[in-house]
Structure 1
């Protein structure tokens, strides 16, 4: 199918070779530099491979602000902390809407979620709901017992595996862990109870399929109008999106139906809270929730919450094993600080171990789970570092490149947590060289929950276990190749051998 697609595009180029993309030649505009483009497709031919690496290579040649034309869609790629600050802080209001794509529109029930909805009164109400009711620090802390229970269950399973000293698939372990936490927090459903209607394998499959669908290429996204719709129909580009939407919708509906039963709201999970809000709405309320809003919020929590935390933990453990000095220091620091006789690690212990926080920061820098902040779209004409950016321009901020900027970071390709010792740089949106959760109005509201998941899990694995590679594998042989589209994970699952210490 992909070969046929390429041949068809070549045919289009041949037939319309005299038609070139319109370029704004108006001398009053100082547009960002741009690579050479082709008829119809624009700069799409420059994106052969992982997008964040393709954009990184273009930034090396053309600078930190680059204009691309993907089909008929203008896209500005931002690849420096200074330019990112201009977008996310100085011009945050003018640059804080979202582009509409087929995949995001379908899976968000017509942009009724928080992540992909356009900027306006609706988004402000949904953001307020998320910040105050769903993901406040108090609410995140109330779910602490869930995180501790689920991490404790992982420690138990790894302890059993350590008896045989056999390799464990940590990639699967981390996805199962985050899925278990999110399903209890958001859905009130516990994998370890026999009446849960779906298993972890299916959850992981759904999350993977949905992430692929969100990042999938559809012609309509880049060629609006009859041509895009015709090509999508011809190559069935919507088929995968529609299939995963139907599966997710059925899953959400099953959960909601369970909560609507008299005994269904026994926990204060996110679904319960939102259904209670719907019940309490009055005729005079100007902003009202419905079931599509509930499902759209579940999409945000479910996909982002499971995927990004798991990906971060995978990269952190991969880098620790790849760098024995850092691993040894992390384990010694954790065990010396907490003592050697603890039977259980709790969230009270997290603040005591400073080196763990440095490891998490360094993982966010070198391996942001999302190499791009969720794309923004300009609502009016803005200037970024002297360049004119017209309205309705998509903005992609490459945080993967920013985290590797040699002007900002010494030895940027090296995993070195000590670089953050005595450094004020943090990942909470105020330092534009480290942006795993974004910044400004569209910053991820669930950041506290994600960080809590990552820190507690890593601390337990560092305290209770030593880690080795499978028999016959040397540290230098550990494959760090990336894969993915929206989120970037280690391509080959991380297989490590746990050895229980305490």
Structure 2
């Protein structure tokens, strides 16, 4: 999550940089040969996968598997960390120097107008403030417990709809009149961010930017999304005023949704860097886009892996049903007892990190990483997917084995660099608790209330696990399963 968290470097071709040429006496990290103008782009014609994280891992293997790989993509200087040691140097030893995000050229006009939320705000006082507000006020464990997501009854599309509903309720209230229009705008934003724009590879060329046209589409969408946020804020304030006029009075802080919290903070002021209304809107969009698609994708991969591994499915369901002992539904309090279910989610995140290259970082000053020079302005990616499948750190790395986490020695809290699905360091995902709560409650409900069967005639090892890129790395093909009710699903009163 938010795990954003939010907008993502799903194609390396979406990154901006002011990286140097690597000339002089610099000792750049090893990498493939480069041609004039296009740099290393031609090497992507020969990789085995069109998916960015797999292509990066393939290129690293072809060039001696260095822990840090250097590429030039047009004008963009790019360093890719593919080992726990390199990730530790980027996200711990030199964390402050790599704590800012690169601004995608096609999105820069919108960002320069103040449309910067937590994801892309430069490292500094405003980022520290937004991070503190997000962790303590918006995404704390107490506030997550106040947003029960209800029950899930299907997979794939239904999981996406469920997590969107949960996030909508938590962020802007599910009574928002233009809800469907808002969701369509978020989806369109995902397509723009993850699509290819030649202008992002050659940001200094006005001609290339003109013909790519992406910046204009981004600005149009930016205006549309901010207009929708204005509508949400008006409706929110109208409801707040109406409730204040009732005998019960104003809404209590613990009952506020995230938009309510941010508007209260905006009204009260008193912060070191007062957040503008544009920052409030951008932060809401960050939280929504990062909090729904990523959780849905992880849940779909978890169900896919359980269907491919009947022994793990049997063990997970036995635990859930044993601990709940016929209760009508799963609650947040039940999750503390579901140890194996937590291991299933960890193993899913290891095999299928939804942001396999995490979010991009930008080197703000010349640094030496793993003995190599990383020039100021270089975009740095951490290939969490390659690290979490490295056979040098994981036994039987490509197999689904939740039991590997039973000893509790490795966790995803950002201190074990061989397992970093939420990142690490200053820019670690602030929504980890939010995502974890949603995923555990939904998966427990799926396993408790239903028996799941593959389509007739399909064997577990025949289940297609091909990936596709989007806001998160999802299944390419729908996960279609037959659901049989085992424990009756409670009906509303």
User: Could you say whether these structures have the same fold, taking a TM-score greater than 0.5 normalized by the shorter chain as the test?
Assistant: yes
RMSD: 2.1
Instruction: Determine the structure 1 residue equivalent to 2:194.
Output: 215
1:129 aligns with 2:133: yes
Aligned-residue offset at 1:98: 1.0
Contact 1:46 1:54 in 2 (8 A): no
> What does residue range 120-269 of structure 1 map to in structure 2 within 5 Å?
120-141=124-145, 143=146, 146-147=147-148, 150-152=149-151, 154=152, 158=153, 168=154, 170-190=155-175, 196-199=177-180, 204-225=183-204, 227=205, 229-261=206-238, 262-263=241-242, 268-269=256-257
Q: Distance in 1 between matches of 2:410 and 2:139?
A: 24
SS at the partner of 1:493?
coil
1:304 aligns with 2:290: yes
1:47 aligns with 2:48: no
Instruction: Determine the structure 2 residue equivalent to 1:38.
Output: 35
Contact 2:410 2:419 in 1 (8 A): yes
> What does residue range 412-491 of structure 1 map to in structure 2 within 5 Å?
412-491=397-476
> What does residue range 351-390 of structure 1 map to in structure 2 within 5 Å?
351-390=336-375
Call closer, same or farther: CA 1:422–1:501 in 2, change over 3 Å.
same
Q: Distance in 2 between matches of 1:184 and 1:367?
A: 27
Cα shift readout 1:271-302 (whole Å, capped 9, x = no counterpart): 111111222226xx652222201111011111
SS at the partner of 2:230?
helix
Once the two structures are overlaid, the 10-residue window that deviates more, 394-403 or 59-68, is 59-68
Call closer, same or farther: CA 1:246–1:172 in 2, change over 3 Å.
farther
Call closer, same or farther: CA 1:298–1:490 in 2, change over 3 Å.
same
Q: Which runs of no fewer than 5 residues in structure 1 stay unpaired?
A: 1-20, 159-167
Call closer, same or farther: CA 1:460–1:22 in 2, change over 3 Å.
closer
1:496 aligns with 2:477: no
User: Structure 2 length as normaliser, TM-score?
Assistant: 0.86
Contact 2:33 2:40 in 1 (8 A): yes
SS at the partner of 1:151?
coil
Instruction: Determine the structure 1 residue equivalent to 2:122.
Output: 118
Correspondence for 1:291 among 271, 274, 277 = 277
Q: Distance in 2 between matches of 1:348 and 1:131?
A: 21
Cα shift readout 1:246-276 (whole Å, capped 9, x = no counterpart): 4422321211111222237855111111111
Instruction: Determine the structure 2 residue equivalent to 1:17.
Output: none
Instruction: Determine the structure 2 residue equivalent to 1:6.
Output: none
Aligned-residue offset at 1:321: 0.6
Cα shift readout 1:143-196 (whole Å, capped 9, x = no counterpart): 2xx32xx323x3xxx3xxxxxxxxx5x111111111111111110224xxxx74
Instruction: Determine the structure 1 residue equivalent to 2:6.
Output: none
Corresponding pairs, count = 451
Contact 1:104 1:111 in 2 (8 A): no
Aligned-residue offset at 1:232: 2.8
SS at the partner of 1:440?
coil
Instruction: Determine the structure 2 residue equivalent to 1:337.
Output: 323
Instruction: Determine the structure 2 residue equivalent to 1:324.
Output: 310
Aligned-residue offset at 1:243: 4.4
1:57 aligns with 2:36: no
Call closer, same or farther: CA 1:204–1:366 in 2, change over 3 Å.
farther
Q: Distance in 2 between matches of 1:380 and 1:486?
A: 29
Correspondence for 2:269 among 278, 281, 286 = 281
Instruction: Determine the structure 1 residue equivalent to 2:103.
Output: 100
Once the two structures are overlaid, the 10-residue window that deviates more, 126-135 or 342-351, is 126-135
| Structure of greater relative contact order (alpha carbons < 8 Å, 6+ residues apart) | 2
1:26 aligns with 2:29: no
Aligned-residue offset at 1:385: 1.2
Cα shift readout 1:462-499 (whole Å, capped 9, x = no counterpart): 11111011233332331111111452100111111111
Contact 2:30 2:70 in 1 (8 A): yes
Correspondence for 2:260 among 267, 272, 286 = 272
1:87 aligns with 2:75: no
Instruction: Determine the structure 1 residue equivalent to 2:335.
Output: 350
Contact 1:111 1:117 in 2 (8 A): no
Call closer, same or farther: CA 1:203–1:197 in 2, change over 3 Å.
closer
Instruction: Determine the structure 2 residue equivalent to 1:3.
Output: none
User: Structure 1 length as normaliser, TM-score?
Assistant: 0.85
Contact 2:78 2:378 in 1 (8 A): yes
Call closer, same or farther: CA 1:498–1:304 in 2, change over 3 Å.
same
Aligned-residue offset at 1:412: 1.0
Aligned-residue offset at 1:93: 1.0
Q: Which runs of no fewer than 5 residues in structure 2 stay unpaired?
A: 1-18, 244-249, 488-493
Call closer, same or farther: CA 1:175–1:31 in 2, change over 3 Å.
same
Contact 1:31 1:387 in 2 (8 A): yes
